[in-house]
Amino acid sequence: MPETAVKNSIQTVVLAGNPNSGKTTVFNAFTKLRQKVGNYPGVTVEKKTGTLALAKDRIVNVIDLPGTYSLAVRSIDEQIARDVLLGRAPDTPKPDVVVCILDASNLERNLYLFTQIQDLKLPIVVALNMMDEAEAKGLTIDVDKLSKELGVPVVPMIATQNKGIEEIKQCIAEGVEARYERKWRMSPDLEEDVEHIVRLLKQHEGMDDNAAFSEAMSILSIGRPIASSKDSIKEFYKEEFLFQIQAIQDKLKKKGLRARSAAVEARYNWIKHVIKQSTTTEGDGTLALTDRIDAFVTHKIFGWLFFIGVMSIMFYLIFSIASYPMDLIDGLFAALGAWTESVMPPGILTDLIVNGVIAGVGGVVIFLPQILILFFFIGFFQDCGYMARAAFIMDRLMSKVGLHGKSFIPLLSSYACAIPGIMAARTIESSKDRLMTILVAPMMSCSARLPVYTVMIAALIPEASAWQKAGIMLGMYALGTAGVGVMAWFFKKTLLKHQKPIFIMELPPYRFPSFKAIMLQMADRSGMFLKRAGTIILAMSIVLWALMSFPKHDNLSAHDALQKSYAGQIGTMMEPAIKPLGFDWRIGIGLVGSFAAREVFVSTMNIVFNLDEEEEIESLRDAFQQATWPDGSPLFTPLVCIGIMVFFVFALQCLSTVAVVWRETGGWRWALFQLFYLTLIAYLAALAVYQGGRLLGYS
């Protein structure tokens, strides 16, 4: 094959680079899509495809990849990136051009992956991103020289400001040459042996130059074929070939040569040379402000105070400023209900709309302002770089129970929603640590718990101040997080014993969060929340309303008719099991509904108490205060309110999570196990609250 080939019939452009180098930012600029961007490594864990118009009638596919530091991959997200680059990912065409995105402020580390991609002899354009940060660090990069040294086009770029995007497009449109000559060299002995294996591979396996060199390096350095996801070369190659490899390896061993370190060293030597030729540094090359902030926020004591402080402020705002728009939405739905009743004839349909749909869906939509505030904070932390610091201090606390440091980004993401959290566990190399993280992640309180906690806190202390409410909420979040620690420790001791790997996490520099990105994320998230309200919650509201309204008992009081309904019968059947928790059949109905989605508890309670009373209820809080057992004793005592919250802290009440765990663990076994153990813990914890509290003399 000739060493030079011009590619101008480009169809597939692949974006590759180290984690957090700005790939997705470039992808979004290219495709006008809105994939998630964040200032920490490991945001993207799947490949994403979009299209880019190079000219009016020239459309190409663009693929965004998870970040990786090298092609010697260890985790699932890195594996995805490698497979696409090697052109052997199913349903993904081989890349015609790789846009290799380098963080200009960390050139040395970023160029390592570049050398490996170059070894694949793919046409490359370098996007030299984060030029602004390189400058802030005092780095000056001579782009032309760098391009000459690397042997590929280099486009300086500040992706967040759209600088360089047009130039890269133009570069791709003009066609990129795959001109390649390996410039890094190992010792002559080693080079010879590599050559030898390359020849064998070409002969026996019919590989081309491109594949053979990478494969030879992989076999020699990690004893594993790059061309296979299988772990051992024995499963992959014929006896005869293995025999020759073994001979070469023995020879190297005798000489005391190690291919792996030799290759790494050779690459870095060359990289150092390139950097020396093309960059100059003024100052010490660090970002002083980042260091200063880190000394505080990752401090052993102040770091935690800061973390708890910002969480408290977040919850305070969730209860204080959110209450105004919430009252407004509440008023709107109340008016809508009253208006519907006034214009429609009384009957089943009106009842369905007012007591089923409006009470159910409206009861959940009220929480939109709180969700918005939560996601504003989460987006802010992810974008400014604080999330990685929170993971860092968490690691210091929880490494003692055996939780792997890489678990904390997935776990912290689960505060938003367990599903992206569970997906993010793909970045964890060890399959046992990954599984453990997936198993405990749903205990981190997600945004769907917010409505439940809010309703129960209001019932617990009707006159509480926003700070008190925030304190209780923080307590629930802390309880879930503690549950993660305890269960991780337990799994480590029992099911998933193994050594703890060392934690290496890059702490990204602080960046000014892009408010546009945060707003877009908030919009996406509230869109999802409203969609849930309009689909699963609406459907569950209708189903539960029907189960609560039939069979009809016109001659009974509202309360008795509800108890005799299908749902009432189910609740009554459950009562013996949940009475030890202080829950009655009506709470039982809510619990059953909430296994579809947690918010359904709130919508169901709205429907229950609307049907339970002769008159429409003013608010759920008042209805809770008036609800009693048949003997007249109050139902929602403080212990019951706390018990319900504690139940929701632990219970896995989310069909989507079960489905994702099933997909990510490749079977039903762990998904069902998780559902079972979390439900059991939820039950036992609520039981402990109620019975323990009563023993201590509370009610």
Ligand X SMILES: Nc1nc2c(ncn2[C@@H]2O[C@H](COP(=O)(O)OP(=O)(O)OP(=O)(O)O)[C@@H](O)[C@H]2O)c(=O)[nH]1
Binding site for ligand X (CB under 6 A): 17, 19-25, 37-39, 41-44, 66-67, 129-130, 132-133, 158-160, 383, 511, 514
Site for Mg ion in 278-307 (CB under 5 A): none
Least distance (Å) from Mg ion to the CB of residue 46? 10
Least distance (Å) from Mg ion to the CB of residue 23? 5
Which of ligand X, Mg ion, none does residue 447 bind to, with CB < 5 to 8 Å depending on kind? Answer: none
* Residue 106 or 437 having the CB closest to ligand X: 106
Contact region with Mg ion (CB under 5 A), list: 39-47, 324-332, 381-389, 649-657 = 39-47
Which of ligand X, Mg ion, none does residue 42 bind to, with CB < 5 to 8 Å depending on kind? Answer: ligand X
* Residue 75 or 594 having the CB closest to ligand X: 75
Contact region with Mg ion (CB under 5 A), list: 40-48, 93-101, 139-147, 302-310 = 40-48
Least distance (Å) from ligand X to the CB of residue 373? 21
Which of ligand X, Mg ion, none does residue 79 bind to, with CB < 5 to 8 Å depending on kind? Answer: none
Which of ligand X, Mg ion, none does residue 365 bind to, with CB < 5 to 8 Å depending on kind? Answer: none
Helix (H, G, I), strand (E, B) or coil at 17: strand
Helix (H, G, I), strand (E, B) or coil at 107: helix
| 552: exposed, middle or buried (Cβ count in 10 Å: 0-12, 13-18, 19+) | exposed
Instruction: Specify whether the CB–CB gap between 485 and 436 falls below 8 A.
Output: no
* Residue 18 or 278 having the CB closest to ligand X: 18
Least distance (Å) from ligand X to the CB of residue 24? 3
HSE (CB half, 13 Å, CA atoms) of 267? 19
Least distance (Å) from Mg ion to the CB of residue 662? 25
State how far the Cα of 178 lies from the Cα of 3, in Å rounded to an integer.
Answer: 7
- Cis peptide before 551, with omega less than 30 degrees from 0? yes
Least distance (Å) from ligand X to the CB of residue 406? 13
Residues in the chain: 699
Least distance (Å) from ligand X to the CB of residue 129? 5
Distances, alpha carbon 13 to alpha carbons 123, 175, 510, 642, in Å? 10, 11, 30, 54
Who's near 401: CB < 8 A, 6+ residues apart?
485, 486, 488, 489, 492
Kindly state whether residue 407 participates in binding Mg ion, applying the rule CB under 5 A: no
Which member of 12, 39, 44, 674 binds Mg ion (CB under 5 A)? 44
* Residue 66 or 362 having the CB closest to ligand X: 66
Q: Which of 495, 385, 523, 499 is nearest to 439 (CA)?
A: 495
Least distance (Å) from Mg ion to the CB of residue 179? 29
Who's near 412: CB < 8 A, 6+ residues apart?
387, 390, 391, 394, 421, 444
Chain CA centroid to CA 66, Å: 13
Encoded amino acid at 36, one letter: K
* Residue 24 or 604 having the CB closest to Mg ion: 24
Size of site (CB under 5 A) for Mg ion = 4
Least distance (Å) from ligand X to the CB of residue 66? 6
* Residue 21 or 604 having the CB closest to Mg ion: 21
Least distance (Å) from Mg ion to the CB of residue 517? 12
Distances, alpha carbon 29 to alpha carbons 61, 163, 175, 367, in Å? 14, 10, 20, 33
Least distance (Å) from Mg ion to the CB of residue 35? 7
Who's near 21: CB < 8 A, 6+ residues apart?
67, 101, 102, 103, 110, 129, 130
Helix (H, G, I), strand (E, B) or coil at 186: coil
Instruction: Specify whether the CB–CB gap between 528 and 597 falls below 8 A.
Output: no
* Residue 64 or 584 having the CB closest to ligand X: 64
State how far the Cα of 91 lies from the Cα of 128, in Å rounded to an integer.
Answer: 29
* Residue 29 or 398 having the CB closest to Mg ion: 29
Which of Mg ion, ligand X, none does residue 279 bind to, with CB < 5 to 8 Å depending on kind? Answer: none
* Tokens 């989310």 belong to residue: 654
Paired with 99 in beta bridges are 15, 125
Which of ligand X, Mg ion, none does residue 159 bind to, with CB < 5 to 8 Å depending on kind? Answer: ligand X
Paired with 48 in beta bridges are 64
Contact region with Mg ion (CB under 5 A), list: 36-44, 561-569, 622-630, 675-683 = 36-44
* Residue 123 or 508 having the CB closest to ligand X: 508
Which of ligand X, Mg ion, none does residue 132 bind to, with CB < 5 to 8 Å depending on kind? Answer: ligand X
Contact region with Mg ion (CB under 5 A), list: 38-46, 69-77, 334-342, 564-572 = 38-46
Least distance (Å) from Mg ion to the CB of residue 80? 12
Least distance (Å) from ligand X to the CB of residue 56? 28
* Tokens (6 digits) for 358: 């409006």
Helix (H, G, I), strand (E, B) or coil at 417: coil
Count Cβ atoms below 10 Å from residue 238 Cβ, excluding itself.
Answer: 9
* Residue 512 or 698 having the CB closest to ligand X: 512
Who's near 571: CB < 8 A, 6+ residues apart?
563, 584, 585, 586, 587, 588, 589, 592
Instruction: Specify whether the CB–CB gap between 522 and 375 falls below 8 A.
Output: yes
Which of Mg ion, ligand X, none does residue 21 bind to, with CB < 5 to 8 Å depending on kind? Answer: ligand X
Count Cβ atoms below 10 Å from residue 185 Cβ, excluding itself.
Answer: 12
Least distance (Å) from ligand X to the CB of residue 106? 12
* Residue 133 or 265 having the CB closest to ligand X: 133
* Tokens 């923080």 belong to residue: 474
* Residue 156 or 593 having the CB closest to ligand X: 156
Which member of 18, 24, 28, 454 binds Mg ion (CB under 5 A)? 24
Which member of 43, 460, 548, 640 binds Mg ion (CB under 5 A)? 43
Which is it for the CA torsion 246, 251, 254, 259, positive or negative? negative
State how far the Cα of 93 lies from the Cα of 91, in Å rounded to an integer.
Answer: 7
Paired with 61 in beta bridges are 12, 51
Which of Mg ion, ligand X, none does residue 430 bind to, with CB < 5 to 8 Å depending on kind? Answer: none
Q: Report the residue closest to ligand X, judged by CB.
A: 67
Which of ligand X, Mg ion, none does residue 19 bind to, with CB < 5 to 8 Å depending on kind? Answer: ligand X
Paired with 141 in beta bridges are 279
* Residue 130 or 642 having the CB closest to ligand X: 130
* Residue 508 or 568 having the CB closest to ligand X: 508
Helix (H, G, I), strand (E, B) or coil at 682: helix
Least distance (Å) from Mg ion to the CB of residue 221? 28
Contact region with Mg ion (CB under 5 A), list: 16-24, 326-334, 362-370, 408-416 = 16-24
DSSP type of residue 101: E
Q: Which of 180, 173, 164, 161 is nearest to 128 (CA)?
A: 164
* Residue 23 or 137 having the CB closest to Mg ion: 23
Which residues of this protein are in contact with Mg ion, per CB under 5 A? Answer: 23-24, 43-44
